[in-house]
Amino acid sequence: MLRPSHFTRRSGLTLIEVMVALGVLVILVGGIFMVVQTSLKTVLMIDNSASREDEITNLTDILRVGFRNLPPNAGLTGQLIELGGVKEYLIIVRNAPGFLTWMSEPESEKMIVLLSLRQDGKDASWRVCMKRFVPGEKFPEDNFDSKRILQAAADVPWLELVADFQRVNARFFDATSKDWKDRWVNSEVRPALIELTLVCEQVRDVRSETKVLWIPPVRGGTT
């Protein structure tokens, strides 16, 4: 006579099986999250790089047109100064009514343009700013003194063009000596070229952009 069996098939999972399944699920989710996070960082890095490249390109285009179209009697100087503990590379362009013409100030033959590569005192980052103004009648025509010009333009606000650089620098090419110079103080003779170097930190590395701008070699009606 056959005896009925006391064993029945289980209809669920054991605790160990559930824990193993959860462990596998956690590993899969973690892997997917890492892939998505890496993809997002890559997209962000590319987007930031493109935005920064656009800023530098736009700045270069504006300055290239401005320097290329300087009038014959326009003078230019540039040097590194320090005021109030803040470093500033100041480029002064005098008698330049057509320089950066999108501004709203009235045009004048005595227009002075200040292009400032300045260091922010808060986080030591660098930015490129500018201001345009017409000095008073008593201001000397041939005065290129940085402090006097900054005092004369004290009420004119700076316009920020690009910001958040680790370092910015300018050099001037002397066509006579065939040499690059860190400062240009002779307003009677123009440099043949201006080299701007902009160093910015990206997501994974530090990138340096160097742009060379041509200046027509005319000053005071002579070539």
Distance CA 160, CA 87 (A): 16
pLDDT at 221: 43
- pTM for this model (two decimals): 0.70
What does the pLDDT read at residue 204? 56
Is the pLDDT at 6 greater than 70? The verdict is: no
Segment 139-169, tens digit of pLDDT: 777 778 888 888 888 888 888 888 888 888 8
Which residue's entry shows tokens 């590379």? 89
Are 88 and 115 spatial neighbours (Cβ–Cβ below 8 Å)? no
State the chain's mean pLDDT as an integer: 77
| Torsion angle, alpha carbons of 164, 56, 209, 185, to 10 | -90
Name the residue with higher pLDDT: 106 or 164. Answer: 164
- Residues 25-75: tens digit of each pLDDT: 888 777 776 666 655 554 444 444 557 778 788 888 888 888 888 888 888
∠ CA(118), CA(209), CA(58), 5° rounding? 75
Q: 199: helix, coil or strand? A: strand
Beta strand residue intervals within 14-166, DSSP E: 75-83, 86-94, 112-119, 126-133, 159-165
pLDDT of residue 41: 52
Tokens representing 91? 């480029």
**Residue 67, CA distances (Å) to 21, 23, 41, 132 in order:** 69, 65, 39, 15
Task: Confirm if 118 and 131 have CB atoms less than 8 A apart.
Answer: no
Quick: pLDDT tens for 70-96: 888 888 999 888 777 777 889 999 888
CB 76 within 8 A of CB 215: yes
pLDDT of 222: 45
